[in-house]
Structure 1
């Protein structure tokens, strides 16, 4: 995923006020890759190498819930598009294909679908979110959009924007390479070193 956000430091109070009242911006029109390992680029790590996270309820708090594949598909279609749901990905075009077969990840089901411009969306029904986060941090450290008991990895920016507007959060488990600007949520994940945020950088 590559969402374009420009955070410009200013020298005058007027421009600071303008930046504070005008943040949010429109999502990029281009549907580019999201979640490819640590491929979300930009920003520098904090001095201590990890974002400081606020506490989050261990049950997922206010994150949306969708415990089976039909519910995940329905949730995405309420906010974006999830066309031609496929439980088997013969072309291996999505992510977490191998991980879905590994019990350590706590993935009970995986499927893919496509958005309106044919970008792949990977859907994951999660039986144990703590295990999923811990295994993801120990493995490829994919950046994914998470709910309480499911995860979604869209290739298109528009789907990312729509799902995060629907109260899903971005999960990052790479504390050395993800700086979250002030004012955005920084919630502790269910595994050490993982953070959930409403900030998706370019």
Structure 2
């Protein structure tokens, strides 16, 4: 009887360990210290997430975007070919733009960042497990630093200056990496 319970408990632990490890390319999406990256499946979830750390006001969807929102969107990957499901825009406390994207395929999204970087634009975004945020100012970036997001960077200059002790995860796209280093 004891052996039966022990085997059942062992099988349950193996099953849980297997499920915990599931994720993109067989790896769980993890940030610093092995913690899971934050998730936000839609625009409302991204707004709630950002509002935990800073202000996100005057929300606009991509369809309604004009002015600074339209310019910010033009600098980022778009469409399902780049792993982007939906894009939205809000303003930080002082009116600086915050672009938010729901991401269906992080590898495609990072490849889109790489293409933007190769075209002379900034190939950098803050990423969670299934979304990305691109703040328009350092104050918002600093506020989001404690959120558990990582920086997806395809900028060789930035990547080469990451100090020791910070996460430098390579692998999604050649020349790009994920890091928990946020420059001041």
TM-score (norm 1): 0.65
Residues 98-131 of structure 1: per-residue CA shift (max 9 Å, x gap): 7554432111101110111111100111111110
Which residue number corresponds to residue 83 of structure 2? 106
Which residue number corresponds to residue 149 of structure 2? 168
Which residue number corresponds to residue 102 of structure 2? 125
Structure 1 residues 158 and 101: alpha-carbon distance in aligned structure 2, compared to 1, 3 A threshold: closer
Structure 1 residues 108 and 176: alpha-carbon distance in aligned structure 2, compared to 1, 3 A threshold: same
Is 1:89 aligned with 2:65?
yes
Counterpart contact for 2:77–2:112, Cα < 8 Å: no
The total of aligned residue pairs comes to: 147
Structure 1 residues 98 and 177: alpha-carbon distance in aligned structure 2, compared to 1, 3 A threshold: closer
Counterpart contact for 2:87–2:102, Cα < 8 Å: yes
Counterpart contact for 1:124–1:152, Cα < 8 Å: yes
Counterpart contact for 1:59–1:148, Cα < 8 Å: no
Q: Distance in 2 between matches of 1:166 and 1:138?
A: 27
Which residue number corresponds to residue 196 of structure 1? 178
SS in 2 for 1:96: helix
Q: Distance in 2 between matches of 1:57 and 1:187?
A: 15
Unmatched segments (≥5 aa) in structure 2: 1-24, 31-35
Unmatched segments (≥5 aa) in structure 1: 1-55
Q: Which structure has the larger Rg?
A: 2
TM-superposed CA distance for 1:150, in Å, is 0.4
Structure 1 residues 89 and 99: alpha-carbon distance in aligned structure 2, compared to 1, 3 A threshold: same
SS in 2 for 1:95: helix
Give the 4+ runs in structure 1 shifted more than 4 A. Answer: 98-101
TM-superposed CA distance for 1:194, in Å, is 1.5
1:145 to 90, 103, 126: 126
TM-superposed CA distance for 1:157, in Å, is 1.5
